[in-house]
Amino acid sequence: MRLKTKKYYVILRPKKIREILFNNYIIQLTYLLTVMKHSYRIFAMAAVVSAAVATASAQSPVYITGNVPGLTATWTPEEATELTYADGVYTYDMTGAKQGQTFKLSTAKGDWTTFNASAFGMADDNGKYTLPLNSAVTWTAGKCGNMEVPATGDFKLVVNMDAKTLELQGEGTFTDIFDIYILGEATGWTANDAYKFNFVEKNATGENVYELTLPEGLLGQFKVATSDWSAVNYGVYDGKSIEVGQTTELRYNANNITSTITESVKLTFYHNLDSNQSSWLKVDRSSGIEEIDAAEDSAPVYYNLQGVRVDRLAHGVYIKVAGDKVSKVLVK
């Protein structure tokens, strides 16, 4: 028996045809949008990564110079040390820093003109700002004064260029009494115990008072400073000379002072711990060791160069008084 085949035809109405075509279009469009979406995500991620790399590589360097630990050279802007950049901030290790040490920051290194032109900080040129510990402070572009370490200890300097802040992190020990000298032509611009002030007291206004007797006076230019020129560094702006019987206003990091005094004098230094304010240097006539009475046949008596009697001699220069004879002796 042979089967007969028949052909059947499906007649679709125009409306149905449109529905099929539309559904097929939607499926293809959805697929296309899905592919585009994933492609966009990949492109966006690549763009973000690329931007991050470009930003990291384009960070402007920040440089430091001064006399804090770790520098290639002290106070040499041409050899300023670059801070480390990571996680959006710049850092510098100040392990072993000492109270009174100072530094400057800049986004350019070179001579002082170049360095200061791109400097930032809190104090104007020739000024000084003492940083607090563990407290961020706002810096200002163009401020090229010194920044001072407030204590002795191990610290980390953190600089945020976006927020315009810097912070000195760590713990340290404080003192407000310093070894202060006359540093000048008479001393070869170096610390000399014969020109070292003695701390006397803290007066009622909070100033630290120091005294120094110079039996032979003082000639030439000088400044009142610590041996490293950091915590204390005082001079005058107007080129004044000190004179006997007068008190002279001193300012931090100002110009050299001049002295033509050839007689015995006592210098009294009134140190204002706020370096943005004035300190003072008073000059009084002093008879020094000339006031000492010595019998003709008495045993020799020794005094230091500040006119203070010394019973036990160490290394240094002393005034020897024997009868009516006065001389300098060097003990080695």
Per-residue pLDDT tens for 76-90? 999 999 999 999 999
Residue 56, in any domain of the structure = no
Q: Are 25 and 113 members of one domain? A: no
Residue 232, in any domain of the structure = yes
Q: Are 114 and 160 members of one domain? A: yes
Last residue in a domain, options 5, 29, 50: 50
* 73-78 long-range Cβ contacts below 8 angstroms, 24+ apart: 77/104, 77/106, 77/109, 77/110, 77/111, 77/112, 77/114, 77/115, 78/109, 78/110, 78/111
Cα 267 from Cα 69, distance rounded (Å): 33
Q: Are 199 and 258 members of one domain? A: yes
Q: Are 156 and 188 members of one domain? A: no
Whether the full predicted model's pTM is greater than 0.85, yes or no, is no
Q: Which domain holds residue 307?
A: 292-331
Last residue in a domain, options 128, 152, 173: 173
Q: Are 239 and 272 members of one domain? A: yes
| SS3 per residue for 283-326 | EEECCHHHHCCCCCCCCCEEECCCCCEECCCCCEEEEEEECCEE
Evaluate whether 67 touches 140 at the Cβ level (below 8 Å): no
With 0-12 / 13-18 / 19 or more C-beta atoms within 10 angstroms meaning exposed / middle / buried, residue 221 is: middle
Residue 11, in any domain of the structure = no
Per-residue pLDDT tens for 251-278? 998 999 999 999 999 999 999 988 888 9
Say whether 72 sits in a helix, a strand or coil: coil
In order along its 332 residues, the chain shows pLDDT tens digits of: 555 555 555 555 555 555 655 566 566 656 655 655 555 454 444 444 344 333 433 589 999 999 999 998 999 999 999 999 999 999 999 999 998 899 999 999 999 999 999 999 999 887 888 899 999 999 999 999 999 998 999 999 999 999 999 999 999 998 889 999 999 999 999 999 999 999 999 888 889 999 999 999 999 999 999 998 988 999 998 878 999 999 999 999 899 999 999 999 999 999 998 888 899 999 999 875 544 444 445 688 877 776 677 777 777 777 778 766 777 777 76
Q: How far lies 184's CA from each of 90, 226, 235, 277, in Å?
A: 38, 12, 11, 23
Q: How far lies 74's CA from each of 37, 63, 80, 147, 266, in Å?
A: 57, 13, 8, 14, 34
Q: Are 298 and 313 members of one domain? A: yes
Q: Are 87 and 24 members of one domain? A: no
Considering its fold, how many domains does the chain have in total?
4
Per-residue pLDDT tens for 107-116? 999 999 999 9
Residue 1, in any domain of the structure = no
